[in-house]
Amino acid sequence: MIAAPHPPEQIENDLVRAERLEWQTIFWVMVSVGAMSAAMGGSQAFKTAWIEDVLSLLAPIFFLLSRHVEKKGETSVFPYGFQRAGTLAFFLSASALCAIGAFLLYEGLQSLVTMKHPTIGSKTIFGHQVWMGWIMIGVLFFSIIPPVILGRAKRKIAKRLHDEVLFVDADTNAADWQTGVASIAGIIGIACGWWWADALMASVISLSILKDGWTALKGSTIHLLDGLPRAVDSGQPDPAVQELISRLEDEYPDYRAQVRATGRYLRARLEPRDSPHLDRETAKRLMSEKSWRLIELARGMRSETDK
């Protein structure tokens, strides 16, 4: 078995830190689900928050799973190793983020269209009737603190690691705390007698979540199609890669440089400009059956002196 690529120590440390952040995320989401179920019982509002929390668990889980397999080296069954596990996780996490946005938008619009007037009851606490809306605000207030902190930390590390899953997860955390703030505003609105406040806030926030989700989904699709590697934050073609391509093409003028990302790693190839694919005769010699499928024969370079 051939070992997986070894990034520099700084990057390794960041990876360990990222894993720890993801475990913390899972922990806090669980705590938040527990606190919310205590405050809201089995209400509809709780159901919505619960579905959202479960969806926001997906990105951390995908990250940890992809990290787990990424560490494995190349095997006979997976001759390229598992570097692209991160790309698959990126696609799935982006889908989850889109699902969160779409779900919130659906719930919000449905409440607005059917003019649902949300009812929040009261409970006797120390002999006083306390409106559960205030309790919910308290719980929501504490539930938005962890995602703010975790999301910020993840975003920074994600850029250094060039880790899209982690970046999408930071977006998911942003979605979490933004929905939390929106819900607080919504409940205050309900208290003021504006039945539409909660649903309207949720719908507005859902649009920004959908936008992030859509950008990520687009980026991961480009990634899966071996498109030009993108910058992790903007989703635009990575300037570092552009530089690499032009440098390679300067040094090897007869060749066309192709760069693709496998997970966080880059693979550059030099293709002869005059013939795009392997010639039929060579292919036939190497493969007796369906030789038309073999279009490329490449030899890896391990140093520049390897010319």
Partner 1 sequence: MSPFPRLFKESLGMRFLRGFTHKYLLAVVMIGVAACGLPVDPRHTTDTVRGGTLRAGLVGDQAQMEFDTAQLKSLAQTRQAELHVVKGTTDELIELLSKGELDVVASLPKKTPYRKQVGLTQTFAHPGWPKPRVWAVRSGENEWLIVLNDHLGDSK
The contact set with partner 1 (CB under 8 A) reads: 16, 19-21, 23-24, 27, 44, 116-124, 129, 131, 133-134, 137, 141, 145, 148-150, 152-153, 188, 190-195
> What minimum distance in Å lies between the beta carbon of 195 and partner 1?
5
Do residues 270 and 257 make contact, with C-beta atoms less than 8 angstroms apart? yes
138 vs 276, beta carbon nearer partner 1: 138
Question: How far apart (Å, rounded) are the C-alpha atoms in residues 161 and 155?
Answer: 10
Looking up tokens 């910058």, which residue turns up? 231
> What minimum distance in Å lies between the beta carbon of 107 and partner 1?
14
124 vs 288, beta carbon nearer partner 1: 124
Cβ neighbours for 9, distance < 8 A, ≥ 6 positions apart: none
Residues forming a β-bridge with 64 = none
99 vs 149, beta carbon nearer partner 1: 149
As given in the structure block, the two tokens for residue 178 are 């933004």
202 vs 216, beta carbon nearer partner 1: 202
45 vs 257, beta carbon nearer partner 1: 45
> What minimum distance in Å lies between the beta carbon of 209 and partner 1?
22
> What minimum distance in Å lies between the beta carbon of 3 and partner 1?
17
Looking up tokens 């598992």, which residue turns up? 82
Residues forming a β-bridge with 130 = 123
> What minimum distance in Å lies between the beta carbon of 72 and partner 1?
14
User: 273 vs 39, 249, 256, CA distance in Å?
Assistant: 66, 11, 6
Which H helix or E strand runs over 209?
A: helix 197-224
> What minimum distance in Å lies between the beta carbon of 146 and partner 1?
9
> What minimum distance in Å lies between the beta carbon of 15 and partner 1?
11
As given in the structure block, the two tokens for residue 188 are 């205050």
Question: How far apart (Å, rounded) are the C-alpha atoms in residues 133 and 101?
Answer: 24
Cβ neighbours for 302, distance < 8 A, ≥ 6 positions apart: none
43 vs 220, beta carbon nearer partner 1: 43
> What minimum distance in Å lies between the beta carbon of 231 and partner 1?
26
Question: How far apart (Å, rounded) are the C-alpha atoms in residues 238 and 275?
Answer: 27
Quote the strand ranges of the chain, DSSP E: 122-125, 128-131, 255-262, 265-272
130 vs 301, beta carbon nearer partner 1: 130
Cβ neighbours for 83, distance < 8 A, ≥ 6 positions apart: 4, 5, 70, 262, 263, 264, 265
Which H helix or E strand runs over 200?
A: helix 197-224
21 vs 209, beta carbon nearer partner 1: 21
